[in-house]
Homo-oligomer: A and B are copies of this chain.
Amino acid sequence: MSDIEIARAAKKKPIQEVGSKLGISSDHLLPYGHDKAKVSAEYIASLKDRPNGKLILVTAINPTPAGEGKTTTTVGLGDGLNAIGKTAAICIREASLGPCFGMKGGAAGGGYAQVVPMEDMNLHFTGDFHAITSAHNLLAAMLDNHIYWGNELEIDIRRIAFRRVMDMNDRALRQIVCNLGGVANGFPREAGFDITVASEVMAILCLAVDMTDLERRLGDIIVGYRRDRSPVFARDIKADGAMAVLLKDAMQPNLVQTLENNPAFVHGGPFANIAHGCNSVVATQTALKLADYVVTEAGFGADLGAEKFFDIKCRKAGLEPAAAVIVATVRAMKMNGGVAKGDLGDENVDAVKKGCANLGRHIENVKSFGVPVIVAINHFVTDTDAEVAALQDYVQGLGTEAVLCKHWANGSAGITELAEKVAALADGGSADFKPLYPDDMGLFAKIETIAKKIYRASEVIADKKVRDQLKEWEAQGYGNLPVCMAKTQYSFTTDPNRRGAPEGHTLPIREVRLSAGAGFVVVVCGEIMTMPGLPRQPSAEVIRINDEGLIEGLF
């Protein structure tokens, strides 16, 4: 059966029943249909004195075209923990609407380790992204409106730093000239749209701890600069209050369920390049108050995703992960070992061994944050015993364990061994989490620290302009912010084709950007696309409702 067939055959329970597993009464759930709900802000506030459960991060090797199954393993592990009698919840990101109409939509997990309702999660879900789009574009409209009515704040229209957003793959809007048509329509200027997941408002929603914090951060967004380069904030435009009102419902985390009816929080979805790529702090903190174990996921591989999870999300939200799972596959190891995608079906133990270097580097990196690690081998039917053994032996040589998991085929029954070991690791108390660098380190030094300790680069290359910009931000009081690296997810280097565990390379910085509301400095190393386009034959062309009333072509 395909993922969508399995998802459709799911015996979903009413969402109130799923919530009751975590002790949430139906009064505190705001239902969206029968299988989705938001957990009310009032209820979340009432939980604040409860102790936290154990936070478990699921991360991965550098992604390859072979597929790793990070979300599938996150979902499977949550089900596995529940299957061995633990109270566990899952925290993952929401899907972006736009890309679903380009390539096939993303499922939340796969096989027998999925979160449902899949259709809704790939479409409007509970409207969070629409609310973010509205809040973002309200600020943009108020900014242009301010200029139109006399520009009292003296914003330099050549230095507007805030674009508009749409949850759509629409290259036509990447670069536009707006305010055309004469006096009644404003002052013509260059502008553009990003996709909603690239909105700073998205990153803010995912990092804010409550509505007060949300509104403060929204006010901190820099919308542009004056001729003297002094920043103008969303607060100056007086947009922060109305933006917060638009985001009031969206700030409440969404509860859905796995195929095995276990609770899953699906909330927020910032880009993993120009933002930090994790689900919301509010969802994670709520789950930690309600479950003994919370399994969450970070974007891309551990070099980007786990580093940002630790250095941005955990640092800022005061979260202390108890254990990390690094997902690897035999197939991906073989690709890292030089095997072409077409040959992945053939046994090749040597390639597995050779490719393990990439995994080893990630294990070492994650441990350096003081978080104990276990490896999940996400099983594919083509894996041979000898290949699996080679991978396990390699990991054991690093003082870590690699557990074979068959959750894709068997659901929780296929992942109980990992669940037992993860629970033991998290309960063992060996975690001693610390971020990679202190807040008070200089911005450039922070970049160098990540580049050298995580990417194993020998040096960071940056123009004087970039270095001066970083110094200017430090002078303005932004020096204490963490840095958010935007580089290719396919390699430790900035070259997507360099697999394995390279070292001694250089990290060239192309550009730096300040996300003052989200609270990080984005370091762009390479080409980053913030508004995708549709392919020649977008999947939208075949998406339709069939004669049985089911959605076709979305998955």
Contact = CB atoms under 8 A, between A and B. Distances in A.
A215 interface: yes
Contacts of A542: 238, 241
A174 interface: yes
Nearest to A149: B536
Contacts of A130: 124, 127, 130, 133-134
Interface string A1-36: 000000000000000000000000000001111100
A242 B543 contact: yes
A300 to B, nearest CB: 24
Contacts of A534: 141-142, 145
Contacts of A541: 142, 238-239, 241-242
Nearest to A181: B175
Nearest to A239: B540
Contacts of A538: 142, 145
Interface band, chain A: 35 or more
A170 interface: yes
Q: Identify the interface centre among A180, A249, A536: most chain B CB within 10 Å of its CB.
A: A180
Interface string A236-276: 00110110111011000000000000000000000000000
A279 B399 CA distance: 67
Contact of A249 (B124, B142, B167): B124
A295 interface: no
Interface string A172-184: 1111111111001
Contacts of A32: 30-33
A87 B7 CA distance: 41
Most buried by B among A164, A175, A186: A175
A177 B179 contact: no
A170 B140 contact: yes
A533 B545 CA distance: 37
A174 B168 contact: no
A170 B142 CA distance: 8
Interface in A169-225: 169-181, 184-186, 190-191, 211, 215
Majority secondary structure, A binding face: mixed
B123 A168 contact: no
Contact of A97 (B134, B167, B239, B536): B134
Contacts of A97: 134
A551 B133 CA distance: 20
Contacts of A184: 171, 533
Nearest to A139: B540
A215 to B, nearest CB: 7
A148 interface: yes
Contact of A101 (B138, B164, B171, B179): B138
A533 B145 contact: yes
A123 B171 contact: no
Interface string A540-555: 1111110001010110
Contacts of A101: 138, 141-142, 242
A172 B144 contact: yes
A95 B126 CA distance: 19
Nearest to A130: B130
A176 B534 CA distance: 21
A138 B540 contact: yes
A180 B176 contact: yes
A238 B138 CA distance: 31
A245 B544 contact: yes
Given A30-B34, A538-B142, A551 B171 contact: no
Contacts of A167: 134
A164 to B, nearest CB: 8
A28 B76 CA distance: 32
16 contacts: A30-B34, A97-B134, A101-B141, A101-B142, A123-B245, A124-B131, A141-B168, A144-B171, A149-B536, A166-B166, A175-B185, A177-B180, A239-B541, A242-B540, A242-B553, A245-B551
Given A171-B184, A215-B545, A241-B544, 16 more contacts: A30-B33, A101-B141, A123-B245, A124-B127, A124-B134, A141-B169, A148-B171, A148-B172, A171-B186, A172-B191, A174-B181, A184-B533, A238-B541, A239-B540, A242-B543, A248-B545
